[in-house]
Every structure is written in C-alpha cells, then in structure tokens.
Amino acid sequence: MWCRWCRDVSAGSLTDRRSQLVDPALALSPIDGPHAPGNRQAPQISSWTSSASSEQGGDLAAPGVHQRSIWKRRPEDGGPVSAEGAPTDSAVDGRGLAVAVVAASWHQQVMDGLVAGALRRLAQAGVPEPTVIRVPGSFELPVVVGAVAPAHDAVVALGVVIRGGTPHFDYVCSAATTGLAAVAREHGVPVGFGLLTCDDEEQALTRAGLAGSVEDKGAEAAEAAVRTALVLRSLDPPG
C-alpha cells in the first residue's frame, strides 16, 4: 500500500507538494531568482550593514536560498548606535575602590580617546588615581589584566582592533574577548569591556569619546566595571 507522499512522487507532483510548504513570497526559483544566469545583481544596501556580517561569522546566502537579515544604520550616517539603549541610572559612587586601567597602544588617536574617557568617568565616580598600564596590543590585554586583577576591585580593559584583509582580525577579537571573560570568572573581579572591534577607523573614531564622537566606550567600560564591583561588594558585605 502506497502512502500519500509516494503517490505524489509517482505522479510527478513532488515539486508541487514542496512548494505548498514554502511561503510563496519567500520562495526564490533557481531559474527566475536573483541568482539566475544573467540576473546577478549586487544588493542595494547603500550605507547599511548587516547584523549577520563576517565579523560574527555570517555568510551570504547560497544561490537559491532565502536569507533574512536585520540592517542597522552606521552611526556616521545618523542612524542608531548601541548607546541609545544605555541605562540611565544615577551617578555611581566608587570611592574606596581600587581600579586598574589596562590599555592597548595600537591606533593612538582612538586609544587616547578611550583612555581619557575611562579616566574621566572614574574621576567622576570618586576614583581619581587608578593604576594605568599600557600593553602593545589588544591580544596582550587578557594576560596583563589577569596579573593585576587580584590586587584590584575592578579592571578596565581598553583596545581597538580594525578589520584588515585577512582572518587575523577574527582571531585577535576572539582571543581578547574570551580571555578577558575568563579572567573575570577566574578572579571574581569585574573587567570593563572597552575593546572596539570595527570594520574601519571611522567606526572606531565614532566610538572613542573624542570631539565629534557619537559614543564614549572608554567611559562606558569604566562605569560598567565600577558598578559591577559595587554589586559584588553588596553581595558579600564585610563582617
């Protein structure tokens, strides 16, 4: 006895049956779709960037495969940036906390802005003289942050990695991010994450806290570190 599916196949209606399972508005025919011979066109995305970019390991859809993407405007085009969702808590009081700032040295203009922003926010929080240590690059941040974490209540890690033409960008970003997270877990010391991972220098400058910048990631990382240190202190009161 044949099942209905078998009858459909034998009747040559397999394609028809499969098409009923797909939203016709989303279906792309390999003949009529944008990947058909002589019909290939670059997507018209202007200054928009995809959330499924190669920075996150995303790939373009294979021919004939529908892929949905979420597009965000770049800040230099006047679109939204992550700071638009920042918390609006009152001023933080970090008096008495021992804080270290560990900063990379590549891309001096961007780094000067990040460090200045972090120091400015720490001073506003009552930490006027943090320990400041410079390292060569972002890849070296985790080992030095790990070395100073035991003697401090919080550490602010600052760096910038700008995409080039090789996978080097992805390896450095991944190593620095996972390394800093591991340090925080191992020592129970909050690490403010001020590592910029950008497609180009313009994106980095937009986030560096300089005159004309849209965001101040150095200040944000410093405040996050102090606030988290205060949370940890409240969970384990002295005595």
| In the predicted structure, residue 116 carries a pLDDT above the cut 90 | yes
Q: Could you list the residue range(s) of the whole structural domain that residue 138 is in?
A: 96-235
Q: What CATH number is attached to the domain comprising 168? A: 3.40.50.960
What integer is the mean pLDDT of 36-53? 35
CB 104 within 8 A of CB 159: yes
CB 221 within 8 A of CB 118: yes
Across 31-45, 68-82, 97-111, the highest mean pLDDT is recorded for 97-111
Q: Is residue 214 part of a domain?
A: yes
175-209 pLDDT tens trace = 999 999 999 999 999 999 999 999 999 999 999 98
How far is CA 178 from its chain centroid?
12
Token output for 97: 């906390």
Note whether 104 and 54 are same-domain residues. Answer: no
Q: Is residue 88 part of a domain?
A: no
Note whether 100 and 66 are same-domain residues. Answer: no
The total number of structural domains that make up the chain: 2
Residues forming the active site: 168
CA atoms within 13 A on the CB side of 12: 0
Q: Which of 25, 53, 70 is the last residue of a domain?
A: 70
Q: Which amino acid is at 174?
A: S
Token output for 159: 């760096």
Q: Is residue 153 part of a domain?
A: yes
pTM higher than the cut 0.75: no
Note whether 55 and 154 are same-domain residues. Answer: no
Note whether 150 and 59 are same-domain residues. Answer: no
Q: For residue 185, give the H/E element and its range.
A: helix 168-187
| In the predicted structure, residue 44 carries a pLDDT above the cut 50 | no
CB 156 within 8 A of CB 119: no
CA nearest 74: which of 166, 199, 219, 159?
A: 199
Residue 40 — φ and ψ, nearest 5°?
Answer: -80, 125
63-91 pLDDT tens trace = 333 333 333 444 444 444 555 666 666 78
Q: What is the pLDDT of residue 81?
A: 57
DSSP characters over 5-38 = HHHHHHTT-HHHHHHTTS-TTT---TTTSTTSTT
pLDDT higher for 174 or 88? 174
| In the predicted structure, residue 42 carries a pLDDT above the cut 70 | no
Token output for 187: 């020592």
pLDDT higher for 212 or 62? 212
